[in-house]
Amino acid sequence: MTAAPVFLSHESSLHHDTGQHPERIRRIEVILESLAGAPETSVYDRIDSPAARFSDLERVHSASHVERVAAAAEAGGAQLDPDTVVSAGSFVAALHAAGGAVELVRRLLAGGSGQVGFSAHRPPGHHATADRAMGFCLFNNVAVAARHATAALGVERVLILDWDVHHGNGTNDMFWESDDVLFASIHQLPLYPGSGRASELGRGQGRGYTVNLPVPPRSGDDVFISLVRDVVMPLARCFMPQLLLISAGYDAHADDPLAQCLVTDDGFIAMTALMRGLAAELEVPVGCVLEGGYDVDMLGRCVTHTMATLAAAPDCATVAGTDIPTHELAVLARERLLPFWPRISSAT
């Protein structure tokens, strides 16, 4: 029998003090308050995240990067790039953010098919590169977790869907030449950090395993849902991952102040339901790692919806919005991916 859905957090997330900054302490407080008020909370297995080990971090980061973040916190704080603040509590918070993602993966794989979960910490991770903190991110939590799965837990193929509105450039770069981690990103372009064009497809044996799906400003549910259903899901049926991870940012929401996309609460529910349904179809676990989302009321609501949708029976036929028409951007993406994934069109 599959264990209860897992929800991982750690109080150190509340000690990463960024001050007057969109990526602020309140984000985690509202998520915890919103979940506490949700009726489903009782069935979630609430877990205090362990700290990541240096050996976990150093599968994707340089030792000098880890040391730089540690030293900045030790010194009482620093600004590592124009957007990225470190306070005295930030190194410990970042260790638990990465450690939570690793523990999520460990529990997902121990629970097997049907196991679901969410790792909700700050700082977020997907902009952090091997050697650089950027875009509010210190360590790349989802990448650390995916590499833990392949290096330590015997997983041969991981699919990461990044639906944060910003391109996950750090994750993109870390798996650029890898064919065991398929990275698919839906993001607004133009927008920070400016990378993630459709032509960026990976290199060497990793070519075709980086799938960038840029969308224009004002893209809403119809675009995002169709790209998940008509591109990411067929890709997954070709790639056959043993683990699904979602870099779950909520800043594509219409209420978000940092981008111009128009996804609604129902859009995120539909995307979650599709990925939950995909996990059931492939008989693999699925878990979310928190990225962005900067309107705090929206963030609390949407994480709670995601948790409830993951925990529900995987019957996406009953979820509103999953039956929209195929979007033109999805048709174009499938054509672009055909040389690498010849079966993609028949796998819809």
Residue count at the site for Zn ion (CB under 5 A)? 5
116-119 vs 158-162, strand pairing mode: unpaired
Find the binder of Zn ion among 292, 300, 314, 321 (CB under 5 A). Answer: 292
Residue where the block lists tokens 């953010």: 97
Cβ of residue 292: shortest distance to Zn ion, in angstroms? 3
Residue whose beta carbon is closest to Zn ion: 292
Find the binder of Zn ion among 100, 168, 249, 277 (CB under 5 A). Answer: 249
**Nearer Cβ to Zn ion (180/255):** 255
User: Rounded distance, CA 120 to CA 122, Å?
Assistant: 7
Residues contacting 232, CB < 8 A, separation 6+: 159, 161, 184, 186, 211, 213
Cβ of residue 26: shortest distance to Zn ion, in angstroms? 17
Residues β-bridged to residue 160: 183, 245
Question: Which is catalytic among the residues 127, 187, 305, 327?
Answer: 127
Cβ of residue 14: shortest distance to Zn ion, in angstroms? 20
Q: Is 162 a residue that touches Zn ion (CB under 5 A)?
A: no
Residues contacting 152, CB < 8 A, separation 6+: none
Cβ of residue 291: shortest distance to Zn ion, in angstroms? 6
**Catalytic residue list contains 121:** no
Residues contacting 49, CB < 8 A, separation 6+: 8, 9, 10, 96, 97, 99, 100, 103, 119, 121
Tokens of 265: 């609460």
**Among the residue ranges 47-55, 152-160, 174-182, 249-257, the one whose residues contact Zn ion (CB under 5 A):** 249-257
Tokens of 272: 């979650």
**Among the residue ranges 80-88, 194-202, 242-250, 323-331, the one whose residues contact Zn ion (CB under 5 A):** 242-250
For residue 63, give the H/E element and its range: helix 63-74
Find the binder of Zn ion among 251, 255, 256, 295 (CB under 5 A). Answer: 251
**Among the residue ranges 74-82, 158-166, 203-211, 326-334, the one whose residues contact Zn ion (CB under 5 A):** 158-166
Q: Is 166 a residue that touches Zn ion (CB under 5 A)?
A: yes
Footprint of Zn ion (CB under 5 A): 164, 166, 249, 251, 292
